[in-house]
Structure 1
Amino acid sequence: MKHIRNFCIIAHIDHGKSTLADRLLEYTKTISQREAQAQLLDNMDLERERGITIKSHAIQMNYKVDDIEYNFNLIDTPGHVDFSYEVSRSIAACEGALLIVDASQGIQAQTISNLYLALEHDLEIIPILNKMDLPGAMPEEVKDQIIDLIGCKREDIIPASGKTGMGIPDIIQAIVDRVPAPVGDPEAPLQALIFDSVFNPFRGIIAYYKVVNGEIKKGDKVKFINTGKQYLADEVGILKLDMSPRSVVKTGDVGYIISGIKEAREVKVGDTITTVDRPSLDSIQGFEEVKPMVFAGIYPVDTDEFEELREAMHKLQLNDASIVFEPESSAALGFGFRCGFLGMLHMEIIQERLEREFDMTVITTVPNVSYIARTTKGEEVIVNNPSDLPDPSKLDSVEEPYIKANIITKAEFVGPVMSLCIQKRGIIVNQSYLTSDRVELIFEMPMGEIVFDFYDKLKTISKGYASFDYHQVGYRKSDLVRLDMLLNEEPVDALSSLIHRSNAYDFGKKICEKLRELIPRQQFEIKIQASIGAKVIARETLSALRKDVTAKCYGGDISRKRKLLEKQKQGKKRMRQVGNVEIPQTAFMAVLKLD
């Protein structure tokens, strides 16, 4: 056991985690030249196309240092704030972390928040200065920033480059010297913490775990403590590039178990595995429940596919434990699910994965956050969907979630960043200069305002230099109203949103204009209105497509023409009563891209 080292790699987006992981795998000869490819651990097509890591990936390397064979369990983690739940799970399975900082960009917001996650779990931090081969690298300045942040010695920081392979031997040596071996009792009853799971169409559900105490053998009868279900361990083993079976996985090691589980709901990330013969009574405390930040409805385009969508969602949940969903129905879209996501990127990725991995074409409604409404009778209602908001006559007050946003940017962009946050009803709490050129701004702002396009705008005005990280700080009273969209006086519940009264008029007008562009013209006139309660605040009219019915009428009295036009008018009127307006999917997403 004393020759096992479990560590993960944490950093901000694009600081070179996956590339550095590639170099470690090559250096330890875990992968051959033939298998090598860039970002080897990012095995999803989506990850390769976008150049981001979406899922944490675990892999074991064996390497001799000073004639002693060591087992290194490496977990590569995502850097984007939306996938920080993946990071917190990986951290729970490790004793050390490589903190990677880009030598040309310095410390950014997500570096700091991932670092705090690691420190909460008492991990040994090894700071690494990556991308030293870049001409824009500023090693000395960035070293000062790292020292200020974690208070290490200057010589503890390892200069490296994922591209050229510089500094890799030093990193391996540092892992051996500094990362503690896992502690656990090999003689105790088995306790293994599940930190991930995947779905395999042939073998059922495969759970990844870290053995904390005891050991797990092939053929053991095992029990999952939270669900209370029992299984037979058909196959156990460790994670190389592919799974490699073993007869036993010992204390401190990271491995997988295949036990023919068919139901997605039976495997919970954070659960504890123990044996039936010598059960452990208590489960391991690893993760807190994940809190979704953004809610949106996902509906099948074809209403008959509801059950298939449910299956797809369950399989996706195995692979990504941070998605939460429950069934709901909508008058405009039929049956679907109300889903909770960790952020907008997360929502986009889930939608794409549904389309790619399960061939499900889905409609996503306008995303929003969850509010607390208080009625005049003193009841408390949690509102995840604008249509759940109680009637204005019974409503006493509405509270919305606030976040504390931590933005790090270059000094020259402070003005535009501030005005963006103030426009989004943010209140500045603190402004501090980390160095002469880098400023940390802390704002308190409503979660609902950053849901749509805040992150994109922040990146645009700061030329990509601002980094953003946030956490929730509770609920506060706010003057919110429900803005309903009406088409020919019929409300479309999928387009309604909760919005601050001061922004309602502008927002309503913009949506009406946008819908007018996007809805195809019909044979009859369409009224597009935005209303608050019974009061219409904005209106656009989509004129009808008209056929020239008077073409065959040449000469003669005007009354003959009028008769034909009157007849057409009657037909239009009838059509309007029965005709319904089809709303294209682009219209639902238009609300996000209003500016």
Structure 2
Amino acid sequence: MKNIRNFCIIAHIDHGKSTLADRLLEFTSTVSKRDMQAQLLDNMDLERERGITIKSHAIQMQYPYKGEIYTLNLIDTPGHVDFSYEVSRSIAACEGALLIVDSSQGIEAQTISNLYLAIGSDLTIIPVLNKIDLPHSMPEEVSDEIVDLIGCDRDEIIPASGKSGIGIEAILNAICERVPAPVGDPDAPLQALIFDSVFNSYRGIEVLFRIKNGTMKKGDKLRFMATGKEYGADEIGILGLNQEPRLEIGAGNVGYLISGIKEAREVKVGDTITHVARPTTEAIQGFADVKPMVFAGIYPVETTEYEELRSCMEKLQLNDASLVWEPETSVALGFGFRCGFLGMLHMEIVQERLEREFNMTVITTVPSVQFHATGTKDQRLVINAPSEMPEPNMIKLIEEPYIKAQIITASDYVGPIITLCMEKRGIIKGQSYLTSERVELSFELPLSEIVFDFFDKLKTISRGYASLDYELIGFRESDMVKLDIMLNGEKVDALSAIVHRSKSYEWGRRLCEKLRELLPRQQFEIAIQASIGQKIISRETVKALRKNVIAKCYGGDISRKRKLLEKQKEGKKRMRQVGSVEIPQEAFLAVLKID
């Protein structure tokens, strides 16, 4: 055990985590030259296309140091804030963290929030100054920032370059020297923490775990403590570039388990595995519950695919523990699921993964939050989607969820951020300077105002420097109204939204204008109307596509042409009565593009 080192790589997005991981794998000969490719651990098509890490990836390396062989378990983590739950889970399985800072960009928001996660879990931090070979890198200034942030000595910072391989040996030596060996008793009852799981269509569910105490052997009878289910360890092993089976895995090590589990809901990330014969009395402290920021409906395009979509969601949730979902129905779209996401990028990625990995074509509705209403007979109603909201004359009052938001930003951007929060009906509660350059602002904001584009706008006006953390503080009475969208006089519940009365007219007008651009023209006219209750507040019209019926008449009498036009007019009338409008997927998310 004394030669095991478990560490993860944390950094802001685009600071070179995956490239540095490539160099570590090359240097330790974990991967042969022939198998090497850039961002080797990012094995999902989406990750490669977008150049971002979405999943944490674990891999084991062997490294000789001072005459001994060290086992290094590396976890490469995502940098984007929407995947911070992945980072927090990786940190729980480690004793040390490489904090990568780009020497040309300096410390950014996600660097700080990931660092606080690591410090909160008592990890040993090894600061690495990356990309020092860039012509515009600023090693001196950024080193000063790191010293101020962590309070380390300047000579503890390792200068490196993931691209050209500078400083890789120094990083590996520092891991062996500075990161503590895992603590645990190999002879105690088995305690293993599940930190991830993957669905394999041939072998069932593969569980990734980190052993805290005890030893796991092939063929052992195991119990999952949260679900109470029992399994046999058909295959256990370590995570090299490919899975490498082993006969036993000891305390402090990371590995995988295959035991023929078929049901996705039987594996819970954060659960503890123990032996059936000699169980442990206490479970390992799991992970904090995930806080969804955005709720949206996901529906199959064909209603017959509902059950198939359910099983796809279960398999996806195995691999993405931050996804929360429950069944719901819609008049326009039929049966589907109301899902909770950590942000808009997360929502986009989930939709893409459903389409690519599971071949499911889905429609996503407008993101929203939960409201509480009191009816005229004092009955309490919980409103999860706009379609559930009663008519205005049936409601006494509506309450909406409020959050306490803490925003950490550079002092240059305080003014624009306060303006943004005021526009979103926020109340400023406090402002404190952490250093001369960094400010912490606290606000009380309605959750419904921040689910759409608040985070994107915050990042834009602060050039990516602001980081947002929030907690729910309860429900408050508010003047909310349901804005209905009608196409040719029929309400489309999937396009409805619940908005504040002060913003409803502007919202309705803009939404109608946006829909006019997005709806394809038909053979008949489409009236797009926004209404609050019975009152129409805005209207736009999509003009009909007109077929030129008199094209075949050349010259000749006008009565022949008139007869054809009259005939077309009759047909158009009949068409308008039965015409059903085809709505493209973009129209359901038109709200997001209003600005």
| TM bin (shorter chain) | over 0.9
Any idea what SS the aligned residue of 1:541 has? strand
2-side partners of 1:351 and 1:471: how far apart?
25
Q: 1:4 to 1:528 in 2, by over 3 A?
A: same
Report the counterpart of residue 452 of structure 1 in structure 2: 452
- C-alpha displacement of 1:261: 0.8
The code of the aligned residue for 2:295 comes to F
Report the counterpart of residue 318 of structure 1 in structure 2: 318
- C-alpha displacement of 1:56: 0.3
The code of the aligned residue for 1:44 comes to M
Any idea what SS the aligned residue of 1:261 has? coil
| Matching of residues 282-361 of structure 1 within 5 Å | 282-361=282-361
The code of the aligned residue for 1:155 comes to D
Question: CA offsets per residue over residues 233-272 of structure 1, 9 Å max, x none?
Answer: 1100111111100000100100000001111111111111
Report the counterpart of residue 510 of structure 1 in structure 2: 510
Q: 1:206 to 1:395 in 2, by over 3 A?
A: farther
| Matching of residues 430-449 of structure 1 within 5 Å | 443-449=443-449
Report the counterpart of residue 246 of structure 1 in structure 2: 246
2-side partners of 1:537 and 1:154: how far apart?
63
Report the counterpart of residue 267 of structure 2 in structure 1: 267
The code of the aligned residue for 1:396 comes to L
2-side partners of 1:218 and 1:549: how far apart?
78
2-side partners of 1:146 and 1:431: how far apart?
24
- C-alpha displacement of 1:144: 2.6
- C-alpha displacement of 1:577: 3.2
Report the counterpart of residue 394 of structure 1 in structure 2: 395
Does structure 1 residue 488 correspond to structure 2 residue 491? Answer: no
1-side partners of 2:382 and 2:86: how far apart?
27
Which moved further from structure 2: 84-93 or 363-372? 363-372
Does structure 1 residue 472 correspond to structure 2 residue 467? Answer: no
The code of the aligned residue for 2:77 comes to T
Question: CA offsets per residue over residues 182-224 of structure 1, 9 Å max, x none?
Answer: 1112111111110000111111110000011111100111111
- C-alpha displacement of 1:408: 2.8
2-side partners of 1:271 and 1:286: how far apart?
6
1-side partners of 2:285 and 2:436: how far apart?
42
Does structure 1 residue 208 correspond to structure 2 residue 215? Answer: no
| Matching of residues 9-158 of structure 1 within 5 Å | 9-158=9-158
1-side partners of 2:543 and 2:38: how far apart?
54
Does structure 1 residue 4 correspond to structure 2 residue 4? Answer: yes
Q: Which runs of 5+ in 2 are unaligned?
A: none
- C-alpha displacement of 1:155: 2.6
- C-alpha displacement of 1:314: 1.5
Q: Contact 2:371–2:398 at 8 Å: present in 1 too?
A: no
Does structure 1 residue 161 correspond to structure 2 residue 161? Answer: yes
Question: CA offsets per residue over residues 466-519 of structure 1, 9 Å max, x none?
Answer: 343332242352332221111122110110112222221111101111212222
- C-alpha displacement of 1:418: 4.4
Report the counterpart of residue 405 of structure 2 in structure 1: 404
- C-alpha displacement of 1:449: 2.8
Any idea what SS the aligned residue of 1:182 has? coil
1-side partners of 2:432 and 2:103: how far apart?
22
The code of the aligned residue for 1:174 comes to A
Identity %: 67
1-side partners of 2:433 and 2:406: how far apart?
16
Q: Contact 2:402–2:444 at 8 Å: present in 1 too?
A: no
2-side partners of 1:211 and 1:453: how far apart?
41
Q: 1:526 to 1:200 in 2, by over 3 A?
A: same
The code of the aligned residue for 1:101 comes to V
Q: Contact 1:224–1:273 at 8 Å: present in 2 too?
A: yes
Any idea what SS the aligned residue of 1:337 has? strand
Q: Contact 1:410–1:465 at 8 Å: present in 2 too?
A: no
Question: CA offsets per residue over residues 298-327 of structure 1, 9 Å max, x none?
Answer: 111122222221222111111111111122
Q: Contact 2:373–2:398 at 8 Å: present in 1 too?
A: yes
Report the counterpart of residue 233 of structure 1 in structure 2: 233
Q: 1:162 to 1:435 in 2, by over 3 A?
A: farther
Which moved further from structure 2: 233-242 or 474-483? 474-483
Q: 1:547 to 1:263 in 2, by over 3 A?
A: same
The code of the aligned residue for 2:401 comes to E
TM-score (norm 1): 0.92
Q: 1:106 to 1:395 in 2, by over 3 A?
A: farther
Report the counterpart of residue 577 of structure 2 in structure 1: 577
- C-alpha displacement of 1:68: 1.7
2-side partners of 1:382 and 1:79: how far apart?
36
- C-alpha displacement of 1:403: 4.7
Any idea what SS the aligned residue of 2:86 has? helix
Q: Contact 1:19–1:162 at 8 Å: present in 2 too?
A: yes
Q: Contact 1:11–1:79 at 8 Å: present in 2 too?
A: yes
Q: Contact 1:18–1:39 at 8 Å: present in 2 too?
A: yes
1-side partners of 2:7 and 2:185: how far apart?
20
Q: Contact 1:370–1:401 at 8 Å: present in 2 too?
A: no
The code of the aligned residue for 1:471 comes to Y
The code of the aligned residue for 1:468 comes to S
2-side partners of 1:353 and 1:220: how far apart?
35
- C-alpha displacement of 1:459: 4.8
Q: Contact 2:108–2:464 at 8 Å: present in 1 too?
A: no
2-side partners of 1:54 and 1:556: how far apart?
67
Q: 1:555 to 1:61 in 2, by over 3 A?
A: closer
Q: Contact 1:403–1:447 at 8 Å: present in 2 too?
A: no
- C-alpha displacement of 1:527: 1.9
Any idea what SS the aligned residue of 1:54 has? coil
Any idea what SS the aligned residue of 1:387 has? helix
2-side partners of 1:36 and 1:549: how far apart?
64
Q: Contact 1:17–1:76 at 8 Å: present in 2 too?
A: yes
Q: Which runs of 5+ in 1 are unaligned?
A: none
Any idea what SS the aligned residue of 1:273 has? strand
Which moved further from structure 2: 205-214 or 283-292? 283-292
1-side partners of 2:374 and 2:173: how far apart?
59
Q: 1:548 to 1:430 in 2, by over 3 A?
A: same
Which moved further from structure 2: 36-45 or 122-131? 122-131
Which moved further from structure 2: 75-84 or 378-387? 378-387
Report the counterpart of residue 385 of structure 2 in structure 1: 385
Q: Contact 1:364–1:588 at 8 Å: present in 2 too?
A: yes
Q: 1:98 to 1:511 in 2, by over 3 A?
A: same
Any idea what SS the aligned residue of 1:260 has? coil
2-side partners of 1:165 and 1:561: how far apart?
80
Q: Contact 1:62–1:71 at 8 Å: present in 2 too?
A: yes
Q: 1:280 to 1:487 in 2, by over 3 A?
A: same
Aligned length: 590
1-side partners of 2:418 and 2:328: how far apart?
39
Q: Contact 1:208–1:257 at 8 Å: present in 2 too?
A: yes
Which moved further from structure 2: 353-362 or 429-438? 429-438
TM-score (norm 2): 0.92
- C-alpha displacement of 1:450: 3.2
